[in-house]
Structure 1
Amino acid sequence: MILTTTNSIDGKQVTNYLGIIVGTTYTSNTGATKGMSFKDIFNSKKYYENYEKGLEAAKESAFDKLKVQALEKQANAIIGVSIDIEMMSTTGVTMISVIGTAVRVQ
């Protein structure tokens, strides 16, 4: 599966535009302390490393959902990919959305 942020793929011709697809996932800030010792919870470096790992896993999950939707539409590429990360400050939840256009290319 080819994924690109651009609206075209060098050397490939888009033969069918199959529609806009979205992969969305959520992650919680409270997960950043999972598996950490009590002492490490107060170590900001370790806390942010754990939080970053959680965000990375959530991003990969969103991309996986995007690819599944593309395959359901029988696409072999996704163009115009963009990522939107929204922090909901009142709940401590982060939403990650990956958006693109499913296409068939030669």
Structure 2
Amino acid sequence: MILTTTNNIENFKIVDYLGIVTGAAYNSSYSYKGSKMSFKDMFSTAKYYENYTAGLESLKENAFQKLKENASKLGANAVVGIQLDIEPVANTSTLLVSITGTAVKVK
């Protein structure tokens, strides 16, 4: 499946617009592969950013997988106009990753 932030795909023609699709994922920004960062590691700047980055990448990948699944359900072979939004959930260490785009059929 082709995923792009642009509204068209070079060398392809959009033949059908199937609708808006989303993918969302949320989890603690301090959690990666099911393990949480220890209290001690939170004071290690390098370890903190390493785990935070890995956790965020994992969330984004999960959200993209859900976006592709939702587009496939509509019969799409591409998603155009993708927008990514990352929001902290108030008063928690949880991040919400939301991805939105338009499911299309291209030739």
| TM-score between the two structures when normalised by the length of structure 2 | 0.89
One-letter amino acid matched to 1:97 = S
Distance 1:12 1:30, change over 3 A: closer
More helix by share: 1
- Residue of structure 2 equivalent to 1:86: 87
What is aligned with 2:31? 31
The match for 1:64 is 65
Aligned to 1:15: 15
Q: Paired residue for 1:47?
A: 48
Normalising by structure 1, report the TM-score.
0.90
Q: Retained in 1: the 8 A contact 2:30–2:55?
A: no
Give percent identity, aligned residues only.
Answer: 50
SS of equivalent residue, structure 1 residue 21 = strand
Runs of 4+ in 1 over 3 A off after TM superposition: 34-41
SS in 1 for 2:31: helix
Q: List runs of 5+ in structure 1 lacking aligned partners.
A: none
How many residues of Structure 1 are paired with residues of Structure 2 in the alignment?
Answer: 105
Taking only aligned residues, the RMSD between alpha carbons, in angstroms, comes to: 1.7
